[in-house]
Amino acid sequence: MGEKPEKQALILIYTGEGKGKTSAAVGQAVRALGAGLRVGFGQFLKRDFQAGEQKVLKQLLPPDMFLASGAGFFLNGRDHERHRARALSLLDWARKKLEGRVDLLVLDEAIYALGKNLITREELVYLLDLARTSRTHLVLTGRNVPEWLSDQADLVSEIRLVKHHFEQNIPAREGIEY
């Protein structure tokens, strides 16, 4: 007999060309914390101390439950090995969190990391399977979600760009973009 629906781990994806994927994931983490769930939050591409949400998450989460492993801006093909090594460290951290029992794990920018070949499909599938067996809800973010991953998810929310201030040559602002 199958698992009771309320015990089943959910795979949640926030994707699309619009702004707000990380913000949605942070909101999901805050909601889970408010409900008393144990939350881990990892970021594949952002460096530590780079973005405003990191400061808040570090206040809300135990020290070992947040990791920003990015090596800075990744231009396709440039310094791939260094970025890959950082992505592998986040994968290892995520595996330990899933084995150590968290209720919700956010892997921000995982879909970007997949698309840039910093992580492989097999590595991500392993985490999906581990999340299901450990009954941990898993949140993934990033643009260009592949169909196979979308098919495995329980929720896919696409954030659509309608208008962006960059189009008017307005630069990124602290607290808005980072």
**In whole angstroms, how far apart are CA 138 and each of 29, 42, 112, 170?**
10, 11, 16, 34
pTM over 0.85: yes
Query: In CATH, what class is 8-159?
Result: alpha beta
Q: Is residue 29 classed exposed, middle or buried when 0-12, 13-18 and 19+ CB atoms within 10 A define those classes? A: buried
Measured from the Cβ of residue 132, the count of other Cβ atoms closer than 10 Å reads 18
Each residue of 159-172: pLDDT tens digit? 998 777 777 787 87
Ranges 21-30, 49-58, 112-121, 145-154: which has the least confidence: 49-58
Contacts of 57 (CB under 8 A, 6+ apart): 26, 29, 41, 66
**In whole angstroms, how far apart are CA 34 and each of 134, 154, 161, 173?**
21, 22, 30, 28
What tokens appear for 98 in the block? Answer: 């899933």
Q: Residue 170, SS3?
A: coil
Domain range summary for the chain, segments of one domain joined by +: 8-159
Each residue of 64-110: pLDDT tens digit? 999 999 887 666 667 889 999 999 999 999 999 999 889 999 999 99
Q: Outline where the chain has alpha helix (H).
A: 21-34, 52-60, 80-100, 110-115, 121-133, 147-152
